[in-house]
Amino acid sequence: MAVKVLHQLHTYDEALVARFRREMRLCARLYHPHIVRLIDSGQTDENQLYTVFEYVPGRTLGDVLATEGALPPWEAAHLMLQVLDALGCAHNLGIVHRDLKPQNIMLTSTGVRRNAMVLDFGLGTLSNEDRREEQSRITRTRDTLGTPAYAAPEQLRGEPVTERTDLYAWGLIFLECLTGKRVVEGTRLQELIIKQLGPEPIPLPEWLAGHRLGRLLRRVLEKNPKTRDVSAQGLLLELESCATQGWPSADTGESQPAAEVSQLSAEGERRQLTALCCGLRLVGEAVNTGDLAELDMLLWAQHTACVELARRREAWLGSIMGERLLLYFGYPRAREDDAQRAAHVALELMAEMEQRGAELARSRGIHLEARVGIHMGLVISRELRGQSLAGGPVLAGHTPGVAERLESLARPGEILVSAVTAKALQERFVLESSDEHHASAEVHAAPIFRLRGRHPSSTPGLAGTPTAPLLGRKLELELLRQRWRQVQAGTGQGILITGEPGSGKSRLVQELVQQARDTPHTFLECHCALESRNSALSPVVDLLERMLGLGRQSTLAQVTAAVETLLSRYRFELDWAVPLFASLLSIRSTSGHFPPHQKKEETFRVLIDLFLAMAEAQPVLLAVEDVHWADPATLELLSALVKEAAGTRLYVVLTARPELTPPWPPAQVLQVHLGRLERP
């Protein structure tokens, strides 16, 4: 532990103590691998405020820079990426560090590499709070401010500090790591302040200025906070993709190629990996005549969107080369679901690009073509010798090359996978042999498959037994259970659980489903997915297929028979209902678009009737997951369903990210928001 005494209060200052308490409460919520944990804080009998932090062995970055001088660019990037992630975590909670400097960054050497831990979030404050008055006091008492060498101009002027203030300091520290020299120097305080407040931009060394990293630093070091348009999350993505370009070096003045074979250590590590190659092309008249820089930006925006999708499924960004993006699944550690995550990313990415492409075509007359190739195989991973090269490993070998060749064979909108990959995917995904189309391509002798989508039955089940107990969420769970009791007594209703990804929406519903088992009911679940948000009623069709035990290969006769059995159980008029269901179930093999208006109303009617008939037999718990991805028809159906649920025994439990704008009136569906889970 490290105990730190902050203040000796001469007169008891209630407001200060209250603020200290509030801020410490906030800081106690910071949980991040690169933030030193606050263990305790309080006030002694002698009116001293103190904080107790986790003890971290190591030296401060300040010490390291003083003794070692400049760090190799890959190490500087490695450490500053960790600091950035830490800031991102704090910023998400509205906490600004406000005093980031090399002395507040501990470097630990307990791992293979040195790692960074950010100290002293104790001085952080709510970002939106106006601290003008207190700032001016701090500026006057020099010691509290520490050194103004890392303070952003707005901070020195006593204006409100924001996330951008921290990021400015982050930029200065990064630059210092790269050059080994303090960026804003001065022997006297005034001199430092004048340099920080002056209009001249922070100078960058020549060898850095032309590199992408230099451009990134220039944006972070923008003196005017209004035009310093950066966020920790955005910078993180950019910095990661900078790595693919290789780091600049002070010695040669040139950026080094990311992979130079002569510098690879000979003995590599063999590992299993899934490589995904995605090619994006802008085509059309507007492209031939357009401004090149602008088109590059446009393409870059699409690549960034893809990388963001991939990050959610823990992909490793291999490289971006021209129009192509290479992603790896299974690095740094291989997992059994590598190929499946790659397939999910491919499908999501196609859906996203399709949507963005439609928008581009409408607004700019530009067509966006996306192609994907996936291959699973061995690679040899090598660390690079030589300090100025990229921080990531070099993944050499055949596997990424096969993914690239598959990509080049794909047609726009197509996802091609190799035979081994298809084998790993076949249980959960729909694959078609694509040999007839690619027979002429002698490039690849093994058969090629086209990835079409997920099997409806492969969605992760809510009915499964959770592997770990539920933490917290007592109130939310009680609320869900209480409403379920009301539903069972005949007051049907809808409830919407919102929260950021990973906040535990699914886990909470899973708990409800577990606990609901003690009374007889029908449990139904639907999942909305990014890749099917353009396909009408897709989650509902999935659900029906599962209920009826149908697959995509089912014949019309099988479909009709299954529908008839189900519907006659609930005494439907078969002549009317069966054709409606049959055409609904064939929706995917036709266009994915919904039939004409009249038919749509009837289809909604028959679907709602089915749910209500089931609820009449026994209470129905219908969980619909990730409604923010629902296609418009599904949303419309859900609206109608919750409206009619009152007075029945139907419980519609919806989950969604906060960005969903519910189409139903707020009074109709109770909304429960899941915040961050407090640590016990």
Ligand X SMILES: Nc1ncnc2c1ncn2[C@@H]1O[C@H](COP(=O)(O)OP(=O)(O)O)[C@@H](O)[C@H]1O
Residues that bind Mg ion (CB under 5 A): 505-506
Q: How far is the CB of 584 from ligand X (least distance, A)?
A: 28
488 binds, among Mg ion, ligand X, none (CB under 5 to 8 A by kind): none
> Pairing mode, if any, of strands 448-454 and 415-418?
antiparallel
The single residue among 115, 245, 503, 634 that binds ligand X, judged by CB under 6 A, is 503
- Say which DSSP state 348 is in: H
**Number of residues binding to ligand X, judged by CB under 6 A:** 14
Query: Quick check: 506 binds ligand X (CB under 6 A)?
Result: yes
Query: Quick check: 677 binds ligand X (CB under 6 A)?
Result: yes
Q: How far is the CB of 511 from ligand X (least distance, A)?
A: 8
CA angle 377, 380, 386 (to 5 degrees): 150
Q: How far is the CB of 337 from Mg ion (least distance, A)?
A: 16
Contact 619, 522 (CB under 8 A): yes
Burial of 261-296, coded b for 16+ CB within 10 Å and e otherwise, reads eeebeeebeebebbbbbbbbbbebeebeebeeeeee
Query: Quick check: 507 binds ligand X (CB under 6 A)?
Result: yes
Residues recorded for the chain: 680
Does residue 332 have a cis bond before it (omega within 30 degrees)? yes
The single residue among 210, 284, 290, 472 that binds ligand X, judged by CB under 6 A, is 472
Contact 37, 53 (CB under 8 A): yes
* Number of continuous H segments (helices) and E segments (strands) in the chain: 24, 21
Q: Round to whole Å and give the CA distance between 266 and 260.
A: 12
The single residue among 492, 494, 499, 619 that binds ligand X, judged by CB under 6 A, is 499
Query: Quick check: 505 binds ligand X (CB under 6 A)?
Result: yes
Query: Quick check: 475 binds ligand X (CB under 6 A)?
Result: no
Sign of CA dihedral 508, 513, 517, 521: positive
**Residue 45: partners with Cβ closer than 8 Å, 6 or more residues away:** none
Query: Quick check: 344 binds ligand X (CB under 6 A)?
Result: no
Q: How far is the CB of 505 from ligand X (least distance, A)?
A: 3
292 binds, among ligand X, Mg ion, none (CB under 5 to 8 A by kind): none
399 binds, among Mg ion, ligand X, none (CB under 5 to 8 A by kind): none
Q: Round to whole Å and give the CA distance between 567 and 573.
A: 8
Residue with tokens 């020099």, as numbered in its chain: 142
Q: How far is the CB of 506 from ligand X (least distance, A)?
A: 3
Query: Quick check: 501 binds ligand X (CB under 6 A)?
Result: yes
Query: Quick check: 490 binds ligand X (CB under 6 A)?
Result: no
Query: Quick check: 473 binds ligand X (CB under 6 A)?
Result: yes
SS3 call for 106: strand
467 or 555: CB nearest ligand X = 467
82 or 655: CB nearest ligand X = 655
Residue 587 is which amino acid? I
357 binds, among Mg ion, ligand X, none (CB under 5 to 8 A by kind): none
Beta bridge partners of residue 320, listed in sequence order: 325
434 or 506: CB nearest Mg ion = 506
Q: How far is the CB of 520 from ligand X (least distance, A)?
A: 26
302 or 655: CB nearest ligand X = 655
473 binds, among Mg ion, ligand X, none (CB under 5 to 8 A by kind): ligand X
Q: Which alpha helices (H) appear in 100-152, and where do they start and end? A: 132-140, 142-145
Contact 201, 220 (CB under 8 A): no
CA distances from residue 151 to 34, 104, 455 in whole angstroms, order as listed: 22, 13, 54
Residue 637 is which amino acid? L
SS3 call for 374: strand
435 or 478: CB nearest ligand X = 478
Q: Round to whole Å and give the CA distance between 370 and 378.
A: 26
Tell me the DSSP string of 189-217: HHHHHHHHHSSSPPP--HHHHTSHHHHHH
Q: Round to whole Å and give the CA distance between 141 and 621.
A: 62
507 binds, among Mg ion, ligand X, none (CB under 5 to 8 A by kind): ligand X
643 or 676: CB nearest Mg ion = 676
Of 80, 245, 244, which Cα lies nearest the Cα of 176? 80
Binding mask 531-550 for ligand X (x = CB under 6 A): --------------------
160 binds, among ligand X, Mg ion, none (CB under 5 to 8 A by kind): none
The single residue among 456, 504, 539, 619 that binds ligand X, judged by CB under 6 A, is 504
Query: Quick check: 676 binds ligand X (CB under 6 A)?
Result: no
271 or 312: CB nearest ligand X = 312
437 or 657: CB nearest Mg ion = 657
The single residue among 156, 396, 470, 582 that binds ligand X, judged by CB under 6 A, is 470
Beta bridge partners of residue 392, listed in sequence order: none
Query: Quick check: 153 binds ligand X (CB under 6 A)?
Result: no
| Position with the least CB separation from ligand X | 504
Q: How far is the CB of 664 from ligand X (least distance, A)?
A: 21
Residue with tokens 């357009």, as numbered in its chain: 290
Residue 88 is which amino acid? G
The single residue among 471, 489, 556, 646 that binds ligand X, judged by CB under 6 A, is 471
Q: How far is the CB of 329 from ligand X (least distance, A)?
A: 19
The single residue among 15, 112, 468, 475 that binds ligand X, judged by CB under 6 A, is 468
110 or 467: CB nearest ligand X = 467
Q: How far is the CB of 555 from ligand X (least distance, A)?
A: 36
102 or 662: CB nearest ligand X = 662
Q: Round to whole Å and give the CA distance between 522 and 623.
A: 11
408 or 515: CB nearest ligand X = 515
| Position with the least CB separation from Mg ion | 506
CB atoms within 10 A of CB 490: 12
- The sheet that has 620-625: what strands, in order across it? 522-527, 620-625, 650-656, 493-498, 669-673
80 or 508: CB nearest ligand X = 508
Q: Round to whole Å and give the CA distance between 559 and 588.
A: 14
Query: Quick check: 479 binds ligand X (CB under 6 A)?
Result: no
Region near ligand X per CB under 6 A, out of 263-271, 326-334, 501-509, 614-622: 501-509
Burial of 520-538, coded b for 16+ CB within 10 Å and e otherwise, reads ebbebbbbbbbbbbebbbb
295 or 470: CB nearest ligand X = 470
Region near ligand X per CB under 6 A, out of 406-414, 499-507, 586-594, 612-620: 499-507
Region near ligand X per CB under 6 A, out of 54-62, 329-337, 420-428, 468-476: 468-476
Segment (H or E) for 558: helix 556-569
Q: Which two tokens stand for residue 586?
A: 């064939």
466 or 663: CB nearest ligand X = 466
299 binds, among ligand X, Mg ion, none (CB under 5 to 8 A by kind): none
Q: Round to whole Å and give the CA distance between 144 and 99.
A: 10
Give the footprint of ligand X on this chain (CB under 6 A). Answer: 468, 470-473, 499, 501-507, 677
